Structures are given as structure tokens and as C-alpha cells.
């Protein structure tokens, strides 16, 4: 094996500098990744032959991309955290085998996901509210088919991104994602407007961007810095899988449980929207689902920043845990919580002050005033506790990085399954369609109370380990 580079700078440079170095490229990567679907929705919303019907179709498909992402990040984040710990322990042998194992698992799982999506497309779309009307369902089927075809490329690029960061190359991880997103933006415009390819064009543009990101990831794996891959790296090593997959289980559950929550929210939106005096009218039935999708996409941008802040710290935290530098881990935790709260407040200011401007980006000019008014209400109510949401998400992922997978998993499941599913089902019984909107901030308030208990306990444990 050729000489590899040491990652000792992870215990030498200041925590603040390391956080900026790793978190900023990670934030950019995740925000750009989120823009894949958001850009599709912007172009679709402003195409007069698609409009809110196309937007509702996009919203219906979105949870299935999140589910695929859940599998990819479980593998990628788990491998990233474990490889970082191994490198901190100078264990090169297990590090390269862990990465190879992650590659094999990603390829195999992505093929399986693709086959299942192709076979079960109609039941899946029905589950997420796609049958709100016939036109929405037809557009959703068209979009979902092409997105499914590109799923192996999407999952591979997303899984390899954190592994590339663990090798000490957050900038390359960022560039590979940005390159794919820029490709998507250009092709979206070309396929939807001049070529008039509709939902298929939006999906194909997305897939081609994902292909580029996957190709760049493959190139990097052949030129790694701190680890060198060999032929034997790509075997199946159950003993390593048992160690790195649990470290990624929180990433999986935070995304997969979000899909369960989306199913509850979207079905409640369709149900109570149909009972609404305005949205119960046939020409407006798709509006609540379309608007909710838009608001969730803005939240996806905000939460991508939150996740980027915390996942960017994973290689740094893992290496310092391996090197037994708990004082530096505590400092990183403090910086992370402060940054999460600040970013959440900025996002809250935007949605509360400029909701009309945000909805205008998504084709409000082509829709009725009911579309705009419901969107304003949705932005201001649904996202009113974003600072708490971002602190919660950052806490979940940081706990995962320091090996507290159990606590992280419990918090994530409580937020998305217990609060995220039952509140959007129960609150509409009292507040009708508005109850769906109230469910999101109430869930974040309740989750923050639990997170605060874990945060204080974690500080105490880090202080004890430091002494």
C-alpha cells in the first residue's frame, strides 16, 4: 500500500477553524442537493401547462427520494463516522475495508430500491396523496418513473459524499454535488420550456445531474488521500458492518421517519382540504398539497444547513473521540448549538416577513388568490419554530457522531413517528385544515424539551471524561 496522508490536523487546528473548514462545504453540498428537487418545482410551477398540478405531483414523489436518501446516508454517514474514528486510531486496515464495504452495500441497496419502486409505483403514489385528482396522479406517475430510473446514481453520490469528507476532502464533496446541481438547473430550463418535455423533462434533468455527481465520486475513490482502496476492500465484512451501520442508523431513521411523517401530513392535508369550503371545490383540490410541498421544500433548505453544520463536524468529532480529546468535542458541541440557533432565527425571520415573495417564486402569479393566501398562512404557522427544529436536528446528529446512537435514535423516532404522525392526525380533529399546520411547531416544541435533557447530560459526561 502506498504512503497515505495523516489527518493529525484534526486534533491540532482550533475547533472553530475545523468546523468552518468541514461544515461550510458540507452545508453547500446539502443545500445544493436539496435544490435538485426544489429547482424542479420552481420550473414546474412557472410552466403554465403544469402549474399547481405539477407541483402537487412533485410533492407526492418527494418522500420516495427522501426514503432512498435515508438508506444512502445510513451507509455513508455510518462509514464516515467509523472511518474517522479508525483514522484517529491509525487503523488503516479496517478503514479501507469499511469504505469498500460501504460501496458494495450502496450499489446493492440502490438496485433493490429501484426495482421495488418500479413494481409498486401506483400504490406508493396513492399512499402519499397522489390521487387528489386525476391530472396530479398522471403527472406524478410520469415524474416518478424517471426519478426511479436514476435512483442508483442518486444513492451512490449521496452515500459517497460523507465518505469523501472523512478522507479530508470536504471541498471535493461540495464540488461534485454543485456540478450535478448546475447541470440539473440548466437542463431543467431546456427540457421544460424550449423542449416542452413536462414532468419527464424535469426528472431526466435531475437524473443527468445525479449521474455526473456519481461519476465524480467514483473518480475520487480511485484517488483517495488518507486511505488507499484495494481489490480486497470490496469484500463483504460482516464484523465491520456491525460497527459502522449502527453509527448511521440515526441518519437513516431521521430521514425514513420523516417519510412516515410526510405520509401522515400529506394524507391529512388531502383529507381535510377536501372538506374545506374553498379547497373542496374541484378546481382547487390540488392547492393545499402543492403549497405544503413548497413550504416543506423551503424547510428542506433550512434543515440542510442544520444537517450540514452537524454532519460536517462528524469527521472532526470522530477523530477527536478516537484521540480522547473530549475537551475539543465539548467545544465543538457548544459552537454547533449556537450556530444552529442563529441560522434557525434567520430562517424564521425570512418566512415570517417575506412569505409572499417566497410563494411568488413558485408560480403564484399563475394561480388563484386562494393559492397565495394559503401559502402565506402555511409559511407563518408551519415553520414558526424553526430555531428549535434546527437545534433538535443538530443534537440528533452530534449524538450520533460521539457514539450515542441509542439516544439519537430515540429522539429522532419520537420527533418524526410519535409527534410527526399522531399530531397531524389528531390536531385537525380540533382545528380542521389548520390543525395540520399547527402539528409541525407543536412537535418541535415537545422534542426540544427532550433534547434539552440529553444536551445537559452530554455536557456532564464530556466534562467527566475530560477530567
pLDDT digits (tens, 9 = 90+) for 194-247: 999 999 999 999 999 999 999 999 999 888 877 777 777 777 877 888 888 887
Kindly state the cell numbers that stand for 17.
Answer: 477553524
Sign of CA pseudo-dihedral 145, 146, 151, 154:
negative
**What pLDDT band is residue 467 in, cutting at 50, 70 and 90?**
low
Kindly state the cell numbers that stand for 7.
Answer: 489527518
**Which SS3 state, helix, strand or coil, does residue 226 take?**
coil
Residues 6+ apart with CB under 8 A from 391: 337, 340, 341, 344, 448, 451
Query: Taking Cα atoms as reference points, which of 312, 292, 323 lies closest to residue 63?
Result: 292
pLDDT of residue 98: 84
> Residue 139 CA to chain centroid, in angstroms?
24
Query: What distance in Å separates the CA atoms of residue 421 and residue 403, rounded to the nearest whole number?
Result: 27
Kindly state the cell numbers that stand for 5.
Answer: 496522508
Higher pLDDT, 337 or 96: 337
Residue whose entry in the numeric block shows the C-alpha cell 387528489 = 132
**Which SS3 state, helix, strand or coil, does residue 89 take?**
coil
Mean pLDDT of the chain: 86
pLDDT of residue 270: 84
> Is residue 402 classed exposed, middle or buried when 0-12, 13-18 and 19+ CB atoms within 10 A define those classes?
buried
Kindly state the cell numbers that stand for 400.
Answer: 450520533
Query: What distance in Å separates the CA atoms of residue 400 and residue 390, rounded to the nearest whole number?
Result: 16
Query: Taking Cα atoms as reference points, which of 5, 304, 254, 271 lies closest to residue 132?
Result: 271
Q: Are 207 and 155 in contact (CB under 8 A)?
A: no
Angle between helices 386-401 and 51-88 (to 10 degrees): 30
Q: Quick check: 286 pLDDT over 90?
A: no
pLDDT of residue 3: 45
For 26-53, the pLDDT digits (tens) are 788 778 767 766 788 888 888 888 878 8
Number of H helices, E strands in the chain: 19, 0
Query: What distance in Å separates the CA atoms of residue 185 and residue 104, rounded to the nearest whole number?
Result: 30
Backbone angles phi, psi at 65, to 5 degrees: -70, -35
Higher pLDDT, 123 or 52: 123
Q: Quick check: 449 pLDDT over 90?
A: yes
Kindly state the cell numbers that stand for 427.
Answer: 390536531
For 146-166, the pLDDT digits (tens) are 999 999 999 999 999 888 887
Half-sphere exposure (CA, 13 Å, Cβ side) for 217?
31
Query: What distance in Å separates the CA atoms of residue 93 and residue 229, rounded to the nearest whole number?
Result: 10
Q: Quick check: 342 pLDDT over 80?
A: yes
What distance separates the 2 farthest-apart alpha carbons in the chain?
A: 70
pLDDT of residue 443: 95
Q: Are 411 and 457 in contact (CB under 8 A)?
A: no
For 348-387, the pLDDT digits (tens) are 999 999 999 888 887 777 778 888 899 999 999 999 999 9
Query: Taking Cα atoms as reference points, which of 414, 310, 70 lies closest to residue 62?
Result: 70
Q: Are 44 and 199 in contact (CB under 8 A)?
A: yes
- DSSP H/E element including 292: helix 287-311
Residues 6+ apart with CB under 8 A from 285: 132, 133, 273, 274, 279
Q: Quick check: 1 pLDDT over 50?
A: no
Kindly state the cell numbers that stand for 232.
Answer: 480486497
Q: Give percent of the chain with pLDDT exceeding 70.
A: 97
Q: Quick check: 422 pLDDT over 90?
A: yes
Angle between helices 134-149 and 92-119 (to 10 degrees): 150
Q: What is the CA radius of gyration of the chain?
A: 22
Q: Are 371 and 379 in contact (CB under 8 A)?
A: no
> Is residue 430 classed exposed, middle or buried when 0-12, 13-18 and 19+ CB atoms within 10 A define those classes?
exposed
Angle between helices 386-401 and 238-274 (to 10 degrees): 160
**What pLDDT band is residue 6 in, cutting at 50, 70 and 90?**
low
Amino acid at each position: 500500500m502506498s504512503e497515505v496522508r495523516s489527518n493529525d490536523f484534526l486534533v491540532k487546528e482550533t475547533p472553530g477553524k475545523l468546523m468552518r473548514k468541514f461544515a461550510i462545504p458540507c452545508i453547500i453540498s446539502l443545500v445544493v442537493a436539496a435544490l435538485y428537487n426544489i429547482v424542479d418545482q420552481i420550473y414546474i410551477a412557472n410552466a403554465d401547462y403544469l402549474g399547481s398540478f405539477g407541483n402537487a405531483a412533485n410533492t407526492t414523489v418527494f418522500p420516495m427520494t427522501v426514503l432512498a436518501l435515508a438508506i444512502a446516508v445510513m451507509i455513508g454517514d455510518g462509514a464516515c463516522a467509523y472511518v474517522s474514528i479508525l483514522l484517529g486510531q491509525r487503523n488503516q486496515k479496517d478503514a479501507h475495508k469499511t469504505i469498500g464495504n460501504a460501496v458494495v452495500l450502496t450499489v446493492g441497496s440502490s438496485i433493490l430500491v429501484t426495482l421495488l419502486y418500479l413494481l409498486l409505483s401506483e400504490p406508493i403514489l396513492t399512499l402519499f396523496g397522489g390521487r387528489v385528482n386525476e391530472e396530479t396522479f398522471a403527472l406524478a406517475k410520469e415524474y416518478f418513473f424517471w426519478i426511479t430510473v436514476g435512483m442508483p446514481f442518486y444513492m451512490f453520490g449521496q452515500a459517497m459524499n460523507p465518505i469523501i469528507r472523512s478522507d479530508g476532502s470536504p471541498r471535493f464533496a461540495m464540488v461534485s454535488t454543485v456540478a450535478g446541481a448546475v447541470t440539473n438547473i440548466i437542463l431543467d430550463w431546456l427540457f421544460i420550456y424550449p423542449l416542452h418535455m413536462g414532468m419527464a423533462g424535469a426528472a431526466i434533468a435531475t437524473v443527468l445531474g445525479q449521474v455526473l455527481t456519481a461519476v465524480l465520486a467514483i473518480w475520487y475513490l480511485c484517488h483517495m488521500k488518507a486511505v488507499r482502496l484495494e481489490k480486497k476492500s470490496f469484500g463483504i465484512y460482516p464484523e465491520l458492518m456491525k460497527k459502522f451501520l449502527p453509527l448511521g442508523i440515526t441518519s437513516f431513521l431521521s430521514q425514513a421517519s420523516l417519510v412516515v411523517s410526510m405520509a401522515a401530513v400529506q394524507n391529512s392535508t388531502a383529507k381535510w382540504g377536501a372538506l374545506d369550503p374553498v379547497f373542496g371545490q374541484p378546481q382547487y383540490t390540488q392547492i393545499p398539497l402543492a403549497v405544503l410541498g413548497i413550504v416543506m421544500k423551503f424547510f428542506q433548505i433550512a434543515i440542510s444547513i442544520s444537517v450540514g453544520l452537524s454532519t460536517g463536524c462528524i469527521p472532526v468529532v470522530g477523530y477527536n473521540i478516537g484521540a480522547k480529546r473530549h475537551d475539543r468535542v465539548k467545544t465543538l458541541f457548544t459552537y454547533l448549538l449556537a450556530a444552529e440557533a442563529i441560522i434557525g432565527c434567520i430562517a424564521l425571520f425570512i418566512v415570517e416577513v417575506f412569505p409572499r415573495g417566497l410563494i411568488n417564486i413558485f408560480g403564484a402569479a399563475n394561480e388563484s388568490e386562494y393559492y397565495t393566501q394559503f401559502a402565506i398562512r402555511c409559511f407563518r404557522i408551519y415553520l414558526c419554530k424553526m430555531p428549535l427544529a434546527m437545534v433538535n436536528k443538530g443534537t440528533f446528529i452530534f449524538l450520533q457522531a460521539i457514539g450515542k446512537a441509542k439516544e439519537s435514535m430515540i429522539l429522532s423516532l419520537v420527533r418524526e413517528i410519535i409527534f410527526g404522525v399522531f399530531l397531524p392526525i389528531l390536531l385537525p380533529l380540533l382545528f380542521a385544515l389548520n390543525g395540520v399546520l399547527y402539528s409541525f411547531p407543536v412537535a418541535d416544541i415537545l422534542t426540544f424539551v427532550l433534547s434539552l435533557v440529553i444536551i445537559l447530560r452530554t455536557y456532564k459526561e464530556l466534562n467527566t471524561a475530560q477530567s
